[in-house]
Structure 1
Amino acid sequence: MAKRQLILEDGTVLIGNGIGSDVESIGELVFHTGMTGYQEVLTDPSFCGQIVTMTYPLMGNYGINRDDFETITPFIKGFIAKEVCEAPSNFRYEETLDHYLKKHNIPGIVGVDTRKLTRIIRQHGTMKAVIQPVTENVNEKVNQLKRCTLPKNQVEETSTVKPYVVPGRGMRVVVVDYGMKHGILRELTKRDCHITVVPYHYSATQIMQLKPDGLMLTNGPGNPKDVPVAIQMIQNILGKIPLFGICLGHQLLSLACGAETEKLTFGHRGSNHPVKDLKTGKTYITSQNHSYAVNNSSLVHTDLDVTHIALNDKTVEGVVHQTYPAFSVQYHPESSPGPEDANDLFEQFLQIMKDFKAKQEGFVYA
């Protein structure tokens, strides 16, 4: 393996062995605490523009398979691990992690001190970084990183370009794709929903013309305030049909109702984040991937109530509208990867749609 270096915006340099593509790549450096699920991490559009450090030391031991992709085209900028297995062993294994990275032109580094790297991010926050072949121009690269601005159009980059249908005979759900994980579609299709996936910029009028029973706001990358068209759409559709938001969708619903969002120091990324349901007192272990969170104090003068909080840092993990059939969560109930503790939220969404439809039509659903 050829040597490769990771240069951070603060001047830190780590040298390791290269895997994947040998291209130079700049992105936002973050870390993920999942012990497994590297394939889902690589293909989660919420990682668009980011270089991901895996804190668990061994990756690639079960290879890459055809079933666990969260999108067809990965948007990740780089992959960092302590060690990557070169001879995977699993009955679903089809190609190595290294081969997959090469195929999709994604650079990676192995053999670096990922614990040190994670401590730097936890202490100083996420920062820009570059993966490149080993050279002497470190100071030049650090200055370049300090000057450069990361793109703000990640939702546009990851969203579907045209609407498409996933047929079903149950509730008609419009899914607004802000950088959607396929796990969300899998959960809706399990429940026989008739799904229409639409681009991020679809208006409330266009959505209502599809005559949906409910609206799903998906996960996605970046700052929610960079998607004003989505905030306006939500404001125009609230109360007309039930609404369920996940991750970025949760932040967009909160902004549409007058709350504020803020960037976390190093975000939540992993499969082991404890979240408490304030109504039942039950704690869920959840899968998360986000840089931004809803500011709790900003909810005071809105029509939203907090339903869930993160037990690690007390950030808002769920809200519900006081008047309209609309709710959202910051974590990922579809998991992929991670525990399925909160999977019943899809059942709740289904029931809300049935109840709302029954009320509109004047009868009770069985």
Structure 2
Amino acid sequence: MDKKLVLEDGSEFSGRAFGYREDVYGEVVFTTSMSGYQELLTDPSLLGQMLVMTYPMVGNYGINRDDYESMKPHLTALIVREYCDAPSNARSEKSLLEYMEKYRIPGLSRIDTRKLTRHIRERGALKGAILPAEMPMKECLEKVADYPFYTDHISRASTKNIYEVPGGGKRVVLMDFGMKMSILKALVEKGYHVSVVPHDTSSQTILEMDPNGVVLSNGPGNPEDARGPIETVKGLLGKVPLFGICMGHQLLALASGAKTRKMKFGHRGGNNAVRDHRSGKILITSQNHGYEVDSASLTGTDIKTIYTSVNDGSIEGITIPGKRAFSVQFHPESAPGPKDAKVIFEEFDTMMIHTEGR
């Protein structure tokens, strides 16, 4: 079935539908990851977005039971140059096509993804839709303009209930704003007893759990829409060690008096270099975000920058001296991606309070 991607600026890209065959809407973004499409399909940070894979062939190693980042896919569509429906990998249990059909995820192939990616880099991330090839452009643009794009991303992606993952080590509360499962796995591997809590959990409830530390997870959407979580982080600052990842990094900055802003096309991929200003070392990191902390807004706050992007100078990590709080914009759990940043979990471990009897 021939379909087309129509962007809100009037651009169109013709292709061939695969996966679930329905019209779909979302913000069109791209990733430079060469692998990891299963993790990206199930990463809650991509909720409401149509993802363009810049690597030309997708699906060649199939889908397996170990690489899910959540129980279901969150992106609205997958856009590729070519998809492979005959995977060859010992871990594969089903094809990409079978997975997308099961979970009703539309796909568009035979797209000039290089041209599309360059367009997004020049114009910025744009709203768009995958629609029938024969639909007139005027009708397509009206549909995109009238579609009710939502803003309550975090509440849609977060767990609804508190649950425990038992361990014999330090007690850690993980605030779920749209958490990747690999973050939870990384904390469990450290031996922590982890309590995962919903996005709307109050600071009082968290402090009553008497944790050694609190992790603020990744998540989708505009961080400035998350007024409740920002207030929660304010209530935790200075009272318990805090460690933010991606969305958690942005919420920590907002709670500390800074501002965030939407990036032109964001950072998505496993090849992003960041500089540690404390050691001078460079880390190659995995990233997936469309917002950043506004560096100009740090003036007058207690925030200190500890990591920046080598490519564009954007803030990639902050610390709040005296408050036992720090955060990174990149993903130290690295799934998919390089493992350089896993050392960040050691910093959190060192920061946490050691309480007798735990």
Per the TM superposition, whether the score is higher than 0.5 is yes
Alpha-carbon shift at residue 75 of structure 1 (Å): 1.2
Alpha-carbon shift at residue 74 of structure 1 (Å): 1.2
Cα distance in 1 for partners of 2:235, 2:16 equals 52
| Residue number in structure 2 paired with 1:265 | 264
| Residue number in structure 2 paired with 1:107 | 106
| Residue number in structure 2 paired with 1:153 | 152
Name the aligned partner's letter for residue 274 of structure 1: A
Alpha-carbon shift at residue 300 of structure 1 (Å): 1.9
Q: Contact (CA 8 Å) 1:247, 1:331: kept in 2 or not?
A: yes
Alpha-carbon shift at residue 140 of structure 1 (Å): 1.1
**How big is each residue's C-alpha offset from its partner over 1:103-152, in whole Å with a ceiling of 9 and x where there is no partner?**
11110011110001001100000111111232223211112323445210
Cα distance in 1 for partners of 2:85, 2:17 equals 13
| Residue number in structure 2 paired with 1:290 | 289
Q: Contact (CA 8 Å) 2:293, 2:315: kept in 1 or not?
A: yes
Cα distance in 2 for partners of 1:154, 1:53 equals 20
Alpha-carbon shift at residue 195 of structure 1 (Å): 0.4
Cα distance in 1 for partners of 2:137, 2:94 equals 34
Superposition pairs for residues 18-57 of structure 1, below 5 Å? Answer: 18-57=17-56
Cα distance in 2 for partners of 1:209, 1:324 equals 19
Q: Contact (CA 8 Å) 1:7, 1:131: kept in 2 or not?
A: yes
Q: SS where residue 145 of structure 1 aligns?
A: helix
| Residue number in structure 2 paired with 1:348 | 347
Alpha-carbon shift at residue 4 of structure 1 (Å): 1.8
Cα distance in 1 for partners of 2:85, 2:60 equals 8
Q: SS where residue 286 of structure 2 aligns?
A: strand
| Residue number in structure 1 paired with 2:354 | 357
| Residue number in structure 2 paired with 1:126 | 125
Name the aligned partner's letter for residue 354 of structure 2: K
How big is the alpha-carbon RMSD for the aligned residues of Structure 1 and Structure 2? 1.3
Give the structure-2-normalised TM-score: 0.98
Find runs of 4+ consecutive structure 1 residues off by over 4 angstroms: none
Superposition pairs for residues 1-366 of structure 1, below 5 Å? Answer: 2-353=1-352, 356-357=353-354
**How big is each residue's C-alpha offset from its partner over 1:159-198, in whole Å with a ceiling of 9 and x where there is no partner?**
0010111110101000000000001011001111100000
Name the aligned partner's letter for residue 10 of structure 2: G
Q: SS where residue 120 of structure 2 aligns?
A: helix
Give the structure-1-normalised TM-score: 0.96
Q: Contact (CA 8 Å) 1:63, 1:95: kept in 2 or not?
A: yes
Aligned length: 358
Q: Contact (CA 8 Å) 2:304, 2:321: kept in 1 or not?
A: yes
Q: Unpaired segments of 5 or more residues in structure 1?
A: none
Cα distance in 1 for partners of 2:197, 2:7 equals 37
Answer with 6-15 or 75-84: which moved more: 6-15
Cα distance in 2 for partners of 1:62, 1:116 equals 25
**How big is each residue's C-alpha offset from its partner over 1:297-321, in whole Å with a ceiling of 9 and x where there is no partner?**
2112111100000011100000001
